[in-house]
A and B are shown apart, each in its own frame.
Chain A
Amino acid sequence: MEVTLTNIRKYFGTVKANDGITFTFKAGKIYGLLGENGAGKSTLMKILSGYQAQDSGEINLDGVACSFRSPAQALASGIGMIYQDPHDVPSMSVLDNYLLGRSSGIRLDREGGKGELLDKAKRMGYPINLKTHIDTLSLGERQQLELLRLLAMGAEVLILDEPTTGISAEQKEELFTSIRRLADKEGKTIVLVSHKLSEVQELCQHVMVLRQGKLVGKSDIPCSIEKLVGMMFEEIPPRQERKSLVRDKFTLEVNDVNLESDRVSIRNLNLAIKAGEVFGLAGLEGSGQRLLLQACAGLIHPTSGQLLLGSEEITRKPYHRLLNSGVGYLAAGRLEEGLVAGLTLLEHVALSDPDTGFVINRTHFTELTKTRIDKFKIVGIPSTMIDALSGGNQQRALFALLRTPLKLLLLEHPTRGLDVRSTDHIWQLLFERVKEGTSIAFMSADLDELVGRSDRIAAFSGGKMSRVVNATETSAEELGHLIGGEQ
């Protein structure tokens, strides 16, 4: 199916998310859609997949003008999209998820659905267990199920939104193989939305680049990375040169620790991080890295083993104690687990400051907040509501609320959803702390970030930690394999 977008416009108030985009996707080809955060990729694909309506412009499928008022309508016309977090129902079984939304009769035909799903899965080469519930599956498996569902509903055009974030190297290979087969053998049109240049080069045949809502470039692959980067950015972002700031004493020691959660269990984990070291934790969602970070923060406790902060035993200490002992923790969900929507910047500063007296001294905190705003380059004033800030500024605000000095800083996905400029700035701030002797342990799904910013890295898979590698001696490929479970 050939898809033609003509002059697609979508404005959110004064923000021009999509500003007159025209492009044609031909059948049987794989396209890459590149752009920084905020360039408009997501918006465009949401419009194409029926999730949102465009303000103006046309969508033509095989020459016929179409307009969709819902994703289901778009799917009925042949366009399906797989989201980064697939839209499935975690508490339902695999089979029920597959059957959801098919209007075939009143009674749920589980038997028929079973046969159909197993059959399709076999054709694509995916192993699936029908009885399990979605919330026990990995992201890669959920993607596979979504793909099966879309194909079963007759999708001719498949849009994949950042599909390789959070899946193992093996799963990525499987995915790419499937995509190639769907395009070559079955004539589907595939659009891959990504910010990973290497993957786009590997998989796609053509690429379109968005910047600030406009289509600024297109190219056929093969094409050099510099050319792609040049189209994506106005200037090439500077490469961070790093010298090692690692000191000689240990900040964190994890000795024979066992951790349990609903999804994963970690056994006999041993790890040691030195002062001034940046330690990267790689791995799929739910492999245990988050569990480790939470245990080090005192949010959960090991069932056995020992955690040492410097020379102090912190195994059973609660979170607030550790907060006061120099441990900082930033969760991934900024507004869900970190900031309080409805409070201002000043109120956040006053709230997180351990020296706030019973009565709040407004003048003092106004000054303090202004200082932090300057230091962390936050776009806002003390009385700005935290939810009025952009994602990047919210992340900066979170960093501004951390205490100083810190012995250990634990970060979940510190730069998720941020553009290159914000990411660089955040890491500049982080390295200033590292210079002062803070140890950082962070988890990330971005292998380039892990390799580029860490001193040492370890990968988690199914609760097991791989060997620890030096960042200067490893590569994204090697990490990808470690994540998949190789030792």
Chain B
Amino acid sequence: MISIDRRIIFLLIALATSLPLLHPFGLPIKVSPEVRAVYEYIENLPEGSVFFLSLDFDPSSKPELEPQAMALLRHAFRKNLRVIGMTHWLTGTGLADDIFSKVAKEMAKESGKDYVFLGWSPGTGSLVISMGQDLYKAFPSDHSKKPIEGMPVLAGVRNLRDVTYLISLAAGNPGIEMWYVFGKDKYRFEMAGGSTGVMAPGLYPFLRSGQINGLIGGLQGAAEYETLIGQKGTAVAGMDAQSADHFVIIALVLLCNLFYFVLRGEKGRPGFNA
């Protein structure tokens, strides 16, 4: 049993993922203080504040980070914040553009007036410094090649010092740490982070030291944010599948340890021949 055919494990995971998606059991979502901190900060921003959302991920992290991005954008648009978007991940540009267009259409927001999606530009850290010095030199035009100078959404915005709140949703580097080191530390805006589930534990030191004021971790974090804004989406729907998957993995780990100890006990017995 200890060397069980891994296809059985794959089958268990497939069932644990698909069955709750077909028949959700909809358990309540608890909200953590780190996600609530992000929500409350945005909730308390005055109308017209500049909110910068950096979607630093590519399609491989779409299931976890797209719901975070959509929930944050819905919240920001509902609060009538001026939203600036970009990505540091070249392969994520199309996805980020799609997220912005989709939510903007849903919330009846207009590109150039209510939000601007700057797209991608090379440089990562040096790009952040460049934006911190002069946003218009770093990005002369937005993703659809329209010049950004004179756009109503950017009225009074010269550089990153004019940003009120920045959130980087990251699947790795460049992402939250890079934004902190090259951006917040020098240009003094408040920031938070959102990340995949596997990355989140590594970001807690930044949270505890106040370098970021909130953290949205993985699908669970996205589900918490969806709960807070009262608009349940794919994250809440996916949490039942994630619950079942976690329990299958826990059961497998416990089972494997049980067999391991039984086998070790038998090996210790006199006359045992392995």
Indicate whether A and B interact.
no
Using CB atoms and an 8 Å cutoff, list the residues of chain B in contact with chain A. none
